[in-house]
């Protein structure tokens, strides 16, 4: 199983610092690379792929340098965000060319397998110039997958895809990662990364800001309030006890079809201990306790604001 190490990597262009002293590890599974435009995500992916040389630091795959290492190139692939394509070729011809470049033993079988993976087998003999944007994304994906790389680097892979195509591609990437591959996905669609990635790497202004799954990132923000919806058998009684205990920053009774308590806390661990203890002592049933601010978008906004 392939593991990539990024050790103190920087990349600058004259006075512009695109990536600044980034250290992280990419292991088997799906890793999400998040950050606003200009954060350095595409530059970092290019260095992971060996297309760009770091100005400082080193990128290695299983201990071997990635840059200027043809043997390593056969173990990885990158799908760039750029739209430049060979429009005069058919999808099949494009993927076949990639298979031949990798000197695969059975070009036809490899090409058919890759086209089937991205659900383009029926459109394989149409010219790429006639493809929709979503289809162009999928043919790039097929070209990246044709040699079954151990490391797959994807820059905004879902652009232009309809919801059904996105769901199918997510399934394909999960299955590919489950076979032991290391998949890195850079995307601005936060909900998709939340569904797709087990590990998230956050970059802002060229720096590596945080790492972990989105809930662990949320836990890093101990100075930020956590918000929960609590549904119980007696909301008023439980609210009074929480206020008296001093376990919350605020408690609001929410009315409607589903009455609940909207609770804001800063001491997450203290709240998780206090709430069930109070409910048990009062004889109040806890129906559900649900975080309402743990979307990846909320996490990312907090991290960017607090940098």
* Range of 43-47, 199-203, 244-248 with top mean pLDDT: 43-47
User: Same topology for domains 4-219 and 226-293, yes or no?
Assistant: no
Given a contact cutoff of 8 angstroms between Cβ atoms, the answer to whether 247 and 268 are in contact is no
Task: Show me where the domains of the chain are located.
Answer: 4-219, 226-293
**128: DSSP letter:** G
Supply the mean pLDDT for the chain. 88
For residue 111, give the nearest of 88, 82, 90, 133 by alpha carbon: 90
Query: What CATH number belongs to 4-219?
Result: 3.40.50.300
Q: Strand ranges (DSSP E) for the chain? A: 4-13, 16-26, 29-34, 56-61, 64-65, 76-79, 151-155, 182-186, 199-204, 207-212, 226-232, 250-254, 260-265, 286-291
pLDDT tens, residue by residue, 80-133: 887 777 899 999 999 999 999 999 999 999 999 999 989 899 999 999 999 988
Q: pTM of the predicted model, to two decimals?
A: 0.78
pLDDT tens, residue by residue, 49-58: 999 999 999 9
Looking at 65-69, 85-89, 154-158, 189-193, which range is the least confident one?
Answer: 189-193
Given a contact cutoff of 8 angstroms between Cβ atoms, the answer to whether 130 and 90 are in contact is no
Q: What is 226-293's CATH topology?
A: Alpha-Beta Plaits (3.30.70)
pLDDT tens, residue by residue, 259-293: 899 999 877 778 888 999 999 999 999 999 888 87
- CA dihedral (159, 83, 85, 59) in degrees, to 10, reads -90
- pLDDT given at position 115: 95
Residue 223 pLDDT class (50, 70, 90 cuts): low
Residues near 91 by Cβ (< 8 Å), separated by ≥ 6? 115, 120, 123, 124, 125, 126, 128, 131, 135, 139, 142
pLDDT tens, residue by residue, 166-209: 888 888 899 999 999 999 999 877 777 888 898 999 888 899 98
Cα-based angle 149, 29, 205 (whole degrees, multiple of 5): 95
Distance CA 18, CA 79 (A): 20
């Amino acid at each position: 199983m392939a593991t990539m190490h990024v050790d103190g990597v920087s990349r600058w262009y004259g006075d512009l610092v695109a990536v600044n002293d980034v250290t992280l590890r990419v292991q088997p599974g799906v890793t999400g690379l998040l950050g606003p435009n200009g954060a350095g995500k595409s530059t970092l992916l290019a260095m992971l792929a060996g297309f760009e040389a770091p100005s400082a630091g080193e990128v290695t795959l299983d201990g071997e340098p990635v840059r200027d290492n043809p043997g390593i190139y056969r173990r990885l692939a990158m799908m760039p965000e750029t739209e430049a394509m060979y429009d005069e070729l058919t999808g099949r011809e494009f993927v076949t060319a990639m298979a031949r470049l990798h000197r695969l033993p059975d070009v036809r079988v490899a090409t058919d397998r890759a086209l089937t993976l991205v659900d383009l087998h029926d459109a394989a003999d149409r010219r790429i110039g006639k493809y929709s944007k979503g289809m162009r994304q999928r043919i790039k994906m097929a070209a990246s997958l044709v040699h079954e790389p151990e490391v797959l680097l994807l820059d905004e892979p879902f652009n232009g895809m309809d919801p059904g195509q996105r769901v199918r591609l997510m399934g394909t990437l999960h299955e590919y990662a489950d076979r032991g591959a290391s998949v890195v996905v850079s995307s601005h669609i936060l909900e998709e990364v939340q569904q797709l990635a087990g590990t998230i790497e956050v970059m802002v202004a060229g720096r590596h800001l945080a790492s972990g799954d989105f809930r662990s990132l949320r836990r890093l923000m101990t100075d930020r309030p956590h918000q929960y919806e609590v549904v119980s058998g007696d909301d008023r009684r439980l609210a009074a006890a929480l206020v008296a205990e001093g376990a919350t920053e605020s408690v609001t009774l929410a009315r409607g079809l589903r009455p609940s308590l909207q609770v804001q806390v800063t001491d997450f661990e203290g709240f998780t201990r206090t709430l069930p203890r109070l409910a048990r002592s009062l004889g109040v049933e806890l129906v559900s306790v649900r975080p309402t601010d743990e979307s990846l978008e909320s996490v990312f906004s907090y991290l960017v604001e607090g940098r």
